[in-house]
Amino acid sequence: MTDVHPTDDARYPVRKTDAEWRAQLDPMQYQVARQAGTERAFSGKYWDHTQPGTYLCVGCGTPLFDASTKFDAGCGWPSYFEPIDNDVVERIVDRSHGMVRVEVRCKRCGSHLGHVFEDGPEPTGERFCINSASIDFKNE
């Protein structure tokens, strides 16, 4: 885990200018994915979405979460107990808002996805609390 750094960090293989991100994403997607915002609970399109399929990064299309790992955490955001592969997400210590949390970003484009908590179900015990605005859904 690394400490917090700017989202436009050159470490990410997929890089775009701010203007390009604004053109690609709608305002809510931009605010959440590129400015580490958080959508209101129960406001996103996927918190109660249960179809089988794959959730992709809204910034670069990388498959991030499989619907079979999604569970109802009752929190109003899509929640998963693990990513498709640990290599597709990046974990960063987030000390904003007077808390120490672990931020989750797409490892390819640096888009902010949400946070991971230690109160998830088996088999991982983790809860990836993800913004709907940071992901797209693809049917199987």
Looking at beta carbons only, is 20 or 99 nearer to Zn ion? 20
Nearer Cβ to Zn ion (88/102): 88
Q: Using CA atoms, how far apart are residues 105 and 117, in angstroms rounded to an integer?
A: 14
H-helix or E-strand spanning residue 24: helix 18-24
Residue 13 has a CB neighbour count (10 Å cut-off) of: 10
Catalytic hit among 57, 60, 106, 129: 129
CB of 7 to Zn ion, least distance (A): 11
- Let me know if 75 is a catalytic residue: no
**62 or 79: CB nearest Zn ion:** 62
Residues 6+ apart with CB under 8 A from 40: 76
Query: Which residue ranges make up the site for Zn ion (CB under 5 A)?
Result: 57, 59-60, 62, 106, 108-109, 111
| Positions marked catalytic | 129
